[in-house]
Amino acid sequence: MGQCVLCKRRLTYISSALQLCAPCILADAAATREQAAAVHARARGEFGLPARPPRTAEGLGCRLCTNACDIEEGQIGYCGVRRNDRGQLVGGDAQCGAVQWYHDPLPTNCVADWVCPASGPAGYDTFTDTEGPERGYFNLAVFYEACSFDCLFCQNWHYKDHSIEGPRHSSDEVAAAVNPRTRCICFFGGDPSCQVEHALSAAHLARKQRGGRILRVCWETNGSVCRRALEDMAAVSLESGGCIKFDLKAWDDSLHQALCGASNRRTLENFEHVSDWIVRRRAPPLLAASTLLVPGYIDAEQVGRIAQFIAQLDPSIPYALLAFRGSFEMADLPTTSRREATDCLAAAEAAGLTRVRIGNVHLLT
């Protein structure tokens, strides 16, 4: 139970950090935006990250993601990785990535596992040589320790400790981690968007060095990357049998900005753009989507509107609804209930989607 600082209502599901209810956020009043901005600034300040994307006339322009930072000499961008070093933009490039990786046994619990060649016959026999799960093989999970968003409910928020200062690795090192038992690479985080040059370099190197073996390339992203890089991401996934998994966090931009610190316009535009590529390869699907069901904020109405958007593009696009577990600035919120999840599932199916599922079922209360 908490109280909204604007409408003064006491509600069961309200973040004590944000102190704003969903109706007030959706009203998009100036006071709401100011309150949310202050919360993000405080949360980011604890990690030394800029409160907002830098905008200086003398700064160098980084255009890798939607934030379009203009970074002064000696300063860092919103992500914490990109910096202006004596008049040159560095960080997140092929030689210097804030990244770590590990080998995850297949089949793994990724967002699109239910339509992936690693888990079943999708793409057999071009992108997999098994009609069942690829047991005994691995996914190279490549985690980027920076993000273009600032989600208050982030499930992997510990990466922020390494965004500015932490281990750095070249794309060659990532590509070298691919071994004969590696069947796929998934770039996620954080988000690969603000280090997409590094990720694409690693992907192309790994594909070049694979020696004819199956090696799919996938992405889990908030979709905020620039269009040029997005097309390169889509191309390597299309050719390799991988997919791009967009995290569509909210439909209304006011809600998205309050929760994630950034607009979702670029994300929706990019999702629509990749949907035009679907006809080039139907199986396995090139494009998938997911939404985290945050109690009190991301409900059946938000999911229904996201689902309508997806269905208008192609009703066969896979859509996963993910159970939320309290974390980061929203650690006080409860886990998604089974009723909330089933209501969201019904809303997505009513919108016309033909491939929807509830993920993280074990978390539902």
Domain ranges of the chain: 99-363
Share of the chain above pLDDT 90, in %: 95
Q: Which CATH class is domain 99-363?
A: alpha beta
Confidence of residue 109 (pLDDT cuts 50, 70, 90): confident
What number is the average pLDDT over the span 251-268?
Answer: 98
Q: State the pLDDT at residue 2.
A: 87
For range 163-176, the mean pLDDT: 97
Among the residue ranges 111-115, 192-196, 324-328, the one predicted with the least confidence is 111-115
Contact 241, 210 (CB under 8 A): no
CB neighbour burial string for 106-133, b if at least 16 within 10 angstroms, e if fewer? bbbebbbbbbbbbbbebbeeebbebeeb
Q: Give 12's pLDDT tier (boundaries 50, 70, 90).
A: confident
Q: Residue 340's pLDDT is what?
A: 97
Check pLDDT > 90 for residue 1.
no
What is the overall mean pLDDT for the chain? 96
Global pTM?
A: 0.97
Q: Tell me the C-alpha distance between 259 and 133, whole Å.
A: 36
* Residues 174-231 pLDDT 10s: 999 999 999 999 999 999 999 999 999 999 999 999 999 999 999 999 999 999 999 9
**Region 71-85: what's the mean pLDDT?**
97
Q: What is the pLDDT of residue 99?
A: 98
